[in-house]
A and B are shown apart, each in its own frame.
Chain A
Amino acid sequence: DAMVIQNPRYQVTQFGKPVTLSCSQTLNHNVMYWYQQKSSQAPKLLFHYYDKDFNNEADTPDNFQSRRPNTSFCFLDIRSPGLGDAAMYLCATSKGGLAGYNEQFFGPGTRLTVL
């Protein structure tokens, strides 16, 4: 089945220790998104890629970076995690096109704990 896969599902890191979260997809979607979701809050968009074009949200801290080496994979790098970065990180994909970005499908998420 076509799907969005995130690894790891659970990540524990130390304050200030860089961490990388990965996302892969078999849907062949050209748009990939990274969201941060904290408890009882709505998902917050950090950035997205339309093909190779990177689109950062204005309020995304510089501490968060992303890479998309090919259509299938996208990475979220947190350079110096703080306690406030503990959250669920969600990857989503959608099929872009002339009609605009369409339905977004989420991966299972990575739960990040910062000690």
Chain B
Amino acid sequence: QKEVEQNSGPLSVPEGAIASLNCTYSDRGSQSFFWYRQYSGKSPELIMSIYSNGDKEDGRFTAQLNKASQYVSLLIRDSQPSDSATYLCAVRGGTSYGKLTFGQGTILTVHP
């Protein structure tokens, strides 16, 4: 079983729709959870971090964390073509203190 697993995608949504990206992790002791956006040929950009159960909203982005289910998600409301990118879920803590474990990424395409 992969340590951090994301829905494989690619995910295609129309402009203005809600994009939902999902991530599960295996280390129950994980403490911190991050979403990075990576455009093709560019480096990862941190867009959300979440540390406690529940929802965290920042503009059009909402991160949701459920530690009991070992599940973290990212919702993008009013999706724009500029949101088209690979989204990486990263998990820190538990047995790998300080180290991030990345999922394989989900490619999101927002079409006009």
Q: Mark A residues whose CB is within 8 Å of B.
A: 31, 41-43, 45, 48, 50, 88, 90, 96, 100-109, 111
Contacts and interface: CB of A to CB of B under 8 A. Distances in A.
Nearest to B34: A103
A41 B104 contact: yes
22 contacts: A31-B98, A41-B104, A42-B88, A42-B102, A42-B105, A43-B44, A43-B88, A45-B99, A45-B100, A48-B98, A90-B43, A101-B97, A101-B98, A101-B99, A102-B32, A103-B46, A106-B45, A107-B43, A108-B42, A108-B43, A109-B43, A111-B41
Contacts of B90: 104
B70 interface: no
B49 interface: yes
Interface residues of B, number: 23
Contacts of A108: 42-43
Contacts of B46: 103-106
Given A90-B43, A104-B46, A106-B43, A96 B98 contact: yes
A86 B76 CA distance: 33
A90 B43 CA distance: 7
B71 to A, nearest CB: 19
